[in-house]
Structure 1
Amino acid sequence: MIILDNLAHHLQPKRKEEVEKKVNRSPIEKPKKFRITLGEKILVIACSIVLATLAITIVSKSAVIYLENRELQTLEQQVENQLKINRDLNFQVTELSSPERIRKIAEEELGMKLDSKKVKFVGQ
């Protein structure tokens, strides 16, 4: 029993030393919380305002461009329609001003007769 008693005596102080070493260790430092400074907050707010302003400007300009393009297409369509009307009217003018038609109306409706002795041609 002496051997066991002596052995137990040697084991107990080692355990106390280990416990003391664990207790004496410096406590683990907790990581510091990340703090945002006032200047950083101001920069973030300023950048956010600038980005929001740019986004709003881009969207509003895109809307204006869309409306202007739509108006331009409407005007181009109106011009095309007017050109078609003008072509049709020019064709009618050409038809109505033909010499044969004028002579026919003059003879049938107005009772006029063509006297070739009195006709004079003017050079073009």
Structure 2
Amino acid sequence: MGNLAYQVREKQNEQQKQVQKVRKKKKFRFSVGEKVLYAGFFIGVVFGSVQIVSNQVSLYDVNADIQALESKISSQERANNELKLQVVELSTYERIWAKAKELGLDLNENNVKVVQD
């Protein structure tokens, strides 16, 4: 009988070990809500990174346009300064007097009128 009790106890221990082994085999699964949250987070990260990249590209394009406009402005300012210099050179008194003599005009001091502000 003692041997029989020992055998029963041994069978119970084996069954408990098998139950414990089955519990160890159980794998952790994500619930549907967790899967939705992870998918939403992943989509948000992808969307945010795409937005950042597209904003950087648009900033690059705008900066390129600004630099092109600044170069056009500087070249136009240079041309304007050259034209102002030509105006100053062409409007000197000596040049105007020489041009008037070429055209046959003469300075008559009796015909000069002074205009005051």
TM-score w.r.t. length of structure 1: 0.72
2:65 — aligned with what?
71
Q: Does 1:119 align with 2:112?
A: yes
Of the candidates 31, 34, 45, which is equivalent to residue 39 of structure 2? 45
- Determine what percentage of the aligned residue pairs are the same residue: 37
Greater radius of gyration (CA): 1
State the one-letter code of the partner of 1:36: F
Please report the RMSD computed on the Cα atoms of aligned residues, expressed in angstroms: 2.4
Q: Tell me by how many angstroms 1:118 deviates.
A: 2.4
Corresponding residue for 2:52? 58
For structure 2, list consecutive stretches of 5 or more residues without a partner in the other structure. none
Match of 2:68, SS?
A: helix
Amino acid of the structure 1 residue aligned with 2:27? K
The residue aligned with 1:104 is 98
Runs of 5+ in structure 1 lacking a partner? Answer: 1-12
TM-score w.r.t. the length of structure 2 is 0.76
**Helix, strand or coil: the match of 1:35?**
coil
